[in-house]
Structure 1
Amino acid sequence: MTALSILDLAPIPSGGTAGQALRNSIDLAVKAEQYGYRRYWVAEHHFARGVASAAPAVLIGLVAAATSRIRVGSGAVQLGHQTPLSVVESFGLVDALYPGRVDLGIGRSGQRRAELAAEAPPPPRSEARVVDGLLIPPPFDYSVLVKHPQLRHQIALLQQPGAQTPDFADQIDEVVAFLDGTHQAPAVPGEGARVELWILGSSGGQSARVAGERGLPFAANYHVAPSSVLEAVEAYREAFKPSATLAEPYVIVSADVVVAGTDDHARELASPYGLWVRSIRRGDGAIPFPTPEEAAAFDWSEEDRALVQDRLDTQFTGSPETVVERLRTLRRVTGADELLVTTITHDHADRVRSYELLAKAWEGRK
């Protein structure tokens, strides 16, 4: 059976604190291990008042210490504003204490944001389509986001003055060299670490190609960029070359999910999601996740709804049976070997319950 894994942003709820969010994440990881999830990945986000996951390696170490079997990792380290050496040393340190359990998921999102800030080309116009039951919405126009005056300032804050980020492919090659000990300089800890290297991507661009050409596993982001998930998976598989790591392509596909006892209750728990996505796409950074009551009081404009519609339409909400059916469609259409589920609700207990219900339904348990 296709495995389920978790992507956690350590969301800060409205009225909550970062400390509370991090304790919630550790608690969820412990329960995820009990429920049978394969991996527990944490994201890297900056300048967001509603997300506490700013330092993945630190949080991964805390999660690893609280658990014993589940794989722990990043989804993803933003290599655009870190050096390969610093990343390998950080993850090598965690692996030294918890060997064979660490996934190093890497993305080029930092580079991508800088490119968009410089060019910001609008995507070609297209209509929503349904592919064998899976909704593929029109692409989101990121040129709207990159016009935000804070973007260039934030990019600058994430790098040393005058720093230039190397090509992503060269950075990945350097990460591999540090891990396998073929680099001219040793990474200690890191060299020889049993770290599983992943590439994450949202399109059929460089990330997918680099993962395929180097024979690495690839994670495609349906939850972030649903319009391009099929292109991302296809580009990865077309570029794939067998390696010492993989003989065949291996793909994880992500999805936003909220599960409750009934479809109506799940929709209520998920109702603040649109307001939360709006805050990100307006360039303000993720706000603390609202309550359903706070979300209901918001006065939506037509422009606001258009800003988040693709994410609302592709969020999987409902009873366990409803969500399992939609996840099976996602798996079938993308050919995913594994699914990566991310769930955000205001109350931690509802989030834990969502993951519990999904795990039981996925495995056919009562």
Structure 2
Amino acid sequence: MTVPLSILDLAGLVSGGTAGDALRRTLDLARQAEQFGYHRYWVAEHHLTPGVASSQPALLLGQIAAVTDHIRLGSGAVQTGFLTPLGAVEQFGMLDALYPGRFDLGLGRSAQRRKSVLAEPAEVEVTSSRVVDGLLIPESFSFQPILRSARSALFAKLLTQPGAEPADLAAALSDIQTLLAGPYTDGLGNEARAVPGEGADLQIWILGSSGGESARVAGARGLPFAANYHVAPARVLEAVEAYREAFRPSATLSEPHVMVSADVLVAEDDETARHLAIPYPLWVRSVRTGAGAIPYPSIEEAQRFEWTEDDRKLVADRVATQFAGSPATVVERLETLRRVTGADELLVTTMTYDHADRVRSFELLAKEWRG
């Protein structure tokens, strides 16, 4: 069964490069992804991260729309803890007004946890590694030490207005849907209209990394759901299960619709792909230590790094669940991911030091995927 294949891009910097370089590579990749036949091109939202230039999805998507013709474009995901519902509707409403019918408003709630970053976050149950029908579900990784850090508190200060208390995902989603349908009323005879925004032809998606609030809200509202195997591979099955259990038909969907993400790197053969993937563990380590993603290292820089056993344990789940290999190898692993999760679409992300290698990876994958 062939399902639609889409791309998630972080507009990643590389060692020695600049944000401008990264953004121009994103525009080039988007143009070529459209020619390769990818269904969607989503960009992430990451803030205060040395190695990621995708900090403002709507701004970047506008630039991508200007250099492409028909590929669907979206956010993976707008963080509802950092942007008001009106802000999201106006930004994506403006995009739709200029390039009608092409945008997905992907929403995430991870930023909302930072409003209480100095409090004790709830502990996450640690799960053991297992294989489910050929798909590796690794031991879970806890982000709690990062969320408790003083660095996260600093980020929260910079990203939110003093005293601001972001609404939870369900409340933010309700406001977004009301503003899109218009008008927004207060019950006292007053109304407000988002211009642009009201009536915009947007697909709303919810993204999630566990079986928690995001999965349940997406299901209860009858919206499509994107589950993150590439970010939290240990939780992907519980995420899709929680979504399907909570699903109620809506005007948007009559049945559940799931997209699942994966880290991939494709080259002409397995050996070449593994060689190109050498920097990946070092890049993941920078994320997992709480320092924030570094500019993607060169192969030579990565080979010089001296690893400790603790370092290797820190990145083991992400390294084991990166699909790096020949087109046939990667497609086989993606098909396993699709089969086990029941995904209706797949979303792939690729990191390489050399831009030509990344473009080639997506080209080879698209050709093999189509058969």
What TM-score results when the alignment is normalised by the length of structure 2?
A: 0.96
Structure 1 residue 167: Cα displacement: 1.8
Partner of 1:361: 368
Pairing 1:140-219 to 2, within 5 Å after superposition: 140-184=141-185, 185-219=192-226
Partner of 1:347: 354
Partner of 2:189: none
Partner of 1:26: 27
Determine the C-alpha separation between the residues in 2 that align with 1:261 and 1:245.
40
Determine the C-alpha separation between the residues in 1 that align with 2:207 and 2:147.
21
Structure 1 residue 116: Cα displacement: 5.8
Determine the C-alpha separation between the residues in 2 that align with 1:73 and 1:214.
19
Structure 1 residue 114: Cα displacement: 4.1
Determine the C-alpha separation between the residues in 2 that align with 1:135 and 1:121.
26
Structure 1 residue 127: Cα displacement: 1.6
Structure 1 residue 115: Cα displacement: 4.9
Pairing 1:185-264 to 2, within 5 Å after superposition: 185-264=192-271
Structure 1 residue 117: Cα displacement: 4.8
Q: Given that residues 296 and 352 in structure 2 are in contact (C-alpha distance below 8 angstroms), is that contact kept between their aligned partners in structure 1?
A: yes
Structure 1 residue 47: Cα displacement: 1.1
1:325 matched to 2:332? The reply is: yes
Partner of 2:188: none
* Partner secondary structure for residue 7 of structure 1: strand
CA pair 182-236 structure 1, distance change in 2 beyond 3 A: farther
Determine the C-alpha separation between the residues in 2 that align with 1:201 and 1:289.
25
Q: 1:280 aligns with which of 281, 287, 297?
A: 287
Q: Given that residues 120 and 148 in structure 2 are in contact (C-alpha distance below 8 angstroms), is that contact kept between their aligned partners in structure 1?
A: no
Superimposed CA distance per residue, residues 266-286 of structure 1 (whole angstroms, 9 cap, x where no aligned partner): 111111111111111111111
Q: Given that residues 127 and 234 in structure 2 are in contact (C-alpha distance below 8 angstroms), is that contact kept between their aligned partners in structure 1?
A: no
Q: Given that residues 116 and 143 in structure 1 are in contact (C-alpha distance below 8 angstroms), is that contact kept between their aligned partners in structure 2?
A: no
Pairing 1:66-145 to 2, within 5 Å after superposition: 66-115=67-116, 117-145=118-146
Determine the C-alpha separation between the residues in 2 that align with 1:143 and 1:354.
34
CA pair 271-48 structure 1, distance change in 2 beyond 3 A: same
> What amino acid is aligned across from residue 358 of structure 2 in structure 1?
R
Structure 1 residue 91: Cα displacement: 0.5
Superimposed CA distance per residue, residues 72-118 of structure 1 (whole angstroms, 9 cap, x where no aligned partner): 01000001111000011000000001000011000001013445652
* Partner secondary structure for residue 49 of structure 2: coil
Structure 1 residue 182: Cα displacement: 4.1
CA pair 220-169 structure 1, distance change in 2 beyond 3 A: same
Structure 1 residue 24: Cα displacement: 0.3
* Partner secondary structure for residue 107 of structure 2: strand
Structure 1 residue 191: Cα displacement: 0.3
Unaligned runs of at least 5 residues, structure 1: none
Determine the C-alpha separation between the residues in 1 that align with 2:250 and 2:136.
33
Q: Given that residues 120 and 142 in structure 1 are in contact (C-alpha distance below 8 angstroms), is that contact kept between their aligned partners in structure 2?
A: no
Pairing 1:273-312 to 2, within 5 Å after superposition: 273-312=280-319
The RMSD of aligned alpha carbons is 1.0
Determine the C-alpha separation between the residues in 2 that align with 1:331 and 1:138.
20
Superimposed CA distance per residue, residues 18-57 of structure 1 (whole angstroms, 9 cap, x where no aligned partner): 0010000000000000000000000000111110000000
Partner of 2:14: 13
% of aligned pairs identical? Answer: 64
Q: Given that residues 198 and 219 in structure 1 are in contact (C-alpha distance below 8 angstroms), is that contact kept between their aligned partners in structure 2?
A: yes
Determine the C-alpha separation between the residues in 2 that align with 1:219 and 1:356.
23
CA pair 190-52 structure 1, distance change in 2 beyond 3 A: same
* Partner secondary structure for residue 184 of structure 2: coil
> What amino acid is aligned across from residue 128 of structure 1 in structure 2?
S
* Partner secondary structure for residue 118 of structure 1: coil
Q: Given that residues 267 and 317 in structure 1 are in contact (C-alpha distance below 8 angstroms), is that contact kept between their aligned partners in structure 2?
A: yes
- Worse-superposed segment, 147-156 or 283-292: 147-156
Q: Given that residues 255 and 340 in structure 1 are in contact (C-alpha distance below 8 angstroms), is that contact kept between their aligned partners in structure 2?
A: yes
CA pair 69-45 structure 1, distance change in 2 beyond 3 A: same
> What amino acid is aligned across from residue 51 of structure 1 in structure 2?
V
* Partner secondary structure for residue 106 of structure 1: strand
Superimposed CA distance per residue, residues 132-168 of structure 1 (whole angstroms, 9 cap, x where no aligned partner): 0000011102123224321111012100001011121
Superimposed CA distance per residue, residues 235-267 of structure 1 (whole angstroms, 9 cap, x where no aligned partner): 111111111111111100000000001111111
Determine the C-alpha separation between the residues in 2 that align with 1:172 and 1:256.
28
What TM-score results when the alignment is normalised by the length of structure 1?
A: 0.98
